[in-house]
Amino acid sequence: MDTDARALRSLAQTYFDSAYEMDADKFASIFHPSSSVTKVGDDGNVSVTPIATWLAAVRNLKAPKQQGLERQDQILSIDVEGELALLKLKLQIPPRYFTDMLSCLKVDGTWKIAQKVMTSKT
């Protein structure tokens, strides 16, 4: 269990670094190719975006690091059950503040994000 917790903390750090640098390739390294991003849109409807589409959008965003914005990342919880884990993270990409729930699966001995469910506020 300790090894899994360390691996998931490392995955979370890569996630935080990817968000701060807006690095789609780094994000791709921790997401399973069949994963998706789910959120409630501004219109109130649930949207599910395949990871390839989401990564394409990330490539067009300006990185908080390039803008000199303050970084604030936090792992709120890690829950592991065998080959399944749930990470609850908080991070900021000003002016938005995000809470992300990352459902992870251990695939061939490596933790990958299978589903990202997110919410944000300003």
pTM value? 0.94
Residues 18-55 pLDDT 10s = 999 999 999 999 999 999 999 998 899 999 999 999 99
CATH class, 1-121 region: alpha beta
Residues 54-108 pLDDT 10s = 999 999 999 999 999 989 999 999 999 999 999 999 999 878 899 999 999 999 9
Report whether 24 contacts 51 (CB < 8 A): no
* In the chain, domain spans: 1-121
Sheet holding 84-93, edge to edge: 46-50, 31-40, 110-121, 96-107, 84-93, 73-81
